[in-house]
Amino acid sequence: MTSPDPAFYHPAPRAQQFCSQCGHALSREIPPDDNRIRDLCHHCGAVHYQNPRNVVGVVPILGDRVLLCRRAIEPRYGKWTLPAGFMELGETTEQGAERENQEESGARIEIQSLLTVIDVPLVNQVHLYYLADVLGPDLAPGPETLEAAFFALDEIPWNELAFRTVSTTLEHYLQDRARGDFPTHHYAINLRFPD
Ligand SMILES: [Zn+2]
Interval between CA 24 and ligand 1 midpoint (Å):
6
First to last CA, the chain: 16
Interval between CA 49 and ligand 1 midpoint (Å):
13
Say whether 53-188 and 15-50 share the same fold. Answer: no
Interval between CA 30 and ligand 1 midpoint (Å):
16
Give me the average pLDDT of each 10-residue run along the chain (195 residues). 46 79 96 92 94 96 98 94 97 98 97 97 94 96 95 98 97 98 96 59
CATH number for the domain formed by residue range(s) 53-188: 3.90.79.10
Interval between CA 41 and ligand 1 midpoint (Å):
5
Interval between CA 15 and ligand 1 midpoint (Å):
15
Q: Distance between CA 82 and CA 65 in Å, rounded?
A: 13
Interval between CA 107 and ligand 1 midpoint (Å):
45
Interval between CA 86 and ligand 1 midpoint (Å):
27
Interval between CA 195 and ligand 1 midpoint (Å):
37
Interval between CA 79 and ligand 1 midpoint (Å):
42
- What DSSP line would sit under 99-158, residue for residue? HHHHHHT---EEEEEEEEEEEEGGGTEEEEEEEEEE--S-----TTEEEEEEEEGGG--G
Annotated domain spans of the chain: 15-50, 53-188
Which class would CATH give 15-50?
A: mainly beta
Q: Is 160 helix (H, G, I), strand (E, B) or coil?
A: helix
pTM above threshold 0.85: yes
- pLDDT value of residue 16: 84
